[in-house]
Structure 1
Amino acid sequence: MTMRSFNRLAWAVVAGVAVTACSSTSLRVGGAPDASVKNCVAAAARELRVPPGSIAVDSGSTPRDGVYTINLKVGPQGRSAVCTTDENSAVLGVVYKRPE
C-alpha cells in the first residue's frame, strides 16, 4: 500500500465516521437517556399546550443518580422550560422557568 492510497483510505474512513455521526437520530443530552429526552418533549407539548415541533432540546444534566434534568426552549420566543425524569425515563414534571 502506497502512502497516497493509505491517505485516501484514511480520509474515506474519517468521512464515513463524520457522516454517521451527523446522521445519528440520537437525542442524548447531558447524560439523559434518549427515552427521557423524547418523553420530556412529549410531556412538555401536552402540559404546556404547544405543538411538539415548537420545542427544542437545549441542554441536560444529571443532578443526582437516576434523575435527569432536561432544559427546553419552547415556542418561537424560545421560552425556557425544564423537565425532570427518573431512571426509567418517566417524566416527573415540566415547568416554565422564571425569567431572569
Structure 2
Amino acid sequence: MDQMEAEDGEREPSPRIRAYVDDLLARWPDITEGEENDSPWADGPLLGNAWGDAIYFSVVWSRCEEAAEFAANLAQQHDLVCYDPQSEQLLPDLGGERRARRGWFARRR
C-alpha cells in the first residue's frame, strides 16, 4: 500500500482488477447508484479505489463478515490475493506455507 500511495499520478486499474470489481458489483450495487441500504460497501465508486493491480475498499461494520468472505473467495477465483489490514491476514486463511511464500497484494502463481 505504501508503494502504491507513493506513486505519482493515477494508474488505471488492470483488466483483472476491473473484472473483480465488476463481479463484486454484480453481487452488491455500488453505493453511488443510490443503493446504500442494499450494499456492504462503505464508499464509492468502488472502482475509484483501484490502482493498477490492487484495490482497497471498505465495508460497513454490520456486513463485514459476509462481504469479506465473499470478496476473498471471489479474489481467489480471479487469481488475486485478498489482504485484510485490520486482521493483518490473507483471506481466506491460506495456511503458513502458502502465506510465507507471498507478499501482500501479490498475485498467485
TM-score, length-scaled by structure 2? 0.27
Larger Rg: 1
Normalized per residue, the structure richer in strand is 1
TM-score, length-scaled by structure 1? 0.28
